[in-house]
Amino acid sequence: MAKDIVTVSDLKKYFFTRQGTVRAVDSVSFSVKEGETFGLVGESGSGKTTVAHTLVGIYKPTAGNIFYENQNISVVSQKRPMALKQDIRIVFQDPGSSLNPRWSIKQALSVPLKVHRVQSSSNDRLERSKELLRMVELPPEEYLYKYPQAMGGGEKQMVAIARALASDPSFVILDEPTSALDVSVQAKIISLLMRLQKKLKLTYLFITHDLSLMRNMADRVAIMYLGKISEIASTAEFFQNPLHPYTKMLLSSIPVVTEEEELLKPKKVISKGEIPSPVNVPAGCSFHLRCPEKIDACTKIDPPMVEAEEGHLVRCHLFRR
């Protein structure tokens, strides 16, 4: 059995504003196994990107621990050893804003090679940059001296992926890497990521709001709602046997083409109201204001995460023993 490469334990990330305390990530725990794709799914504002930024060191945790290869890395990014910064990389959602418009692609790829001292000479960095572009299926002779503004969204994201791979990482965080792209380009990027994972033996944390995409990409899936994880299961189990009412609501809303696909979806779950503000999270279960299956305990007690079935975790009073 593959070992856990990343373990997140009771992670909290709060932001303190004039309006109040924003509990963006509130007591989140999960682990990612070596070589797998672990999917983190949620609607906008659920906290999934904050989890990503905390893992990579952009944010300092308010509380909790993050272990990478059994080493506690719950510290400010600048204090992390260079080896950790090399080994944990991120691909951001919008490649247009993550690439410096004043740098050519050659510069964009050479800088991380120089910073992480992967290649010592300028000639070595040039050759490695060419290799990285070939890796993401962009001809070096055509792209090395281009600037981001002369490229399409898919090409920019391929460069962003190449840049993330420059330091030979083991763990890559993919923060909605296709959501800013045309549908016709998304499949190409996903196919590329899957090939690179197999070739380079990478471990992915894949963040998205697209459940259909997650079904084809992830080995295991975690669902986030208002800063907390509601359910964790293998992808097959998640789609065949959803337990949390919020998960059922998400799955029942996936658009389908045929009647056969409609029959595979859970019974339609109608939720009430809007997602509450993370500044004013309701008492008890944070989903109870919208939940059609709530019981009295839901309005008073925040349910703990329990293992309803082997490897299938759910945070819901309906499954407390």
Q: What is the pLDDT of residues 136-192, one digit of tens each?
A: 999 999 999 999 999 999 999 999 999 999 999 999 999 999 987 888 899 999 999
* pLDDT tens-digit readout, 260-299: 555 556 666 666 777 888 888 999 999 999 998 999 999 9
Give me the residue spans of the domains in the chain.
Answer: 4-319
Percent of the chain residues past pLDDT 70, beyond the cut: 91
pLDDT at residue 266, as a whole number: 64
Stated pTM of the model: 0.92
pLDDT at 257 over 60: no
Q: Is 171 left (phi over 0), alpha (psi -120 to 50) or beta?
A: beta
Separation of alpha carbons 303 and 230, rounded Å:
10
Q: Residue 169: name the closest of 193, 194, 200 by CA.
A: 200
**16-43: pLDDT as tens digits:** 999 899 999 999 999 999 999 999 999 8
Tell me what pLDDT residue 263 has.
Answer: 58
Mean pLDDT on 229-258:
87
- pLDDT for the residue numbered 59: 93
CA distance 204 to 171: 6
Q: Packing angle between helix 183-200 and helix 153-165, nearest 10 degrees?
A: 20
| Domain 4-319 CATH superfamily | P-loop containing nucleotide triphosphate hydrolases (3.40.50.300)
**E strands of the chain, at which residues?**
4-17, 20-33, 37-41, 63-68, 71-72, 88-91, 171-175, 203-208, 220-225, 228-234, 306-309, 312-314
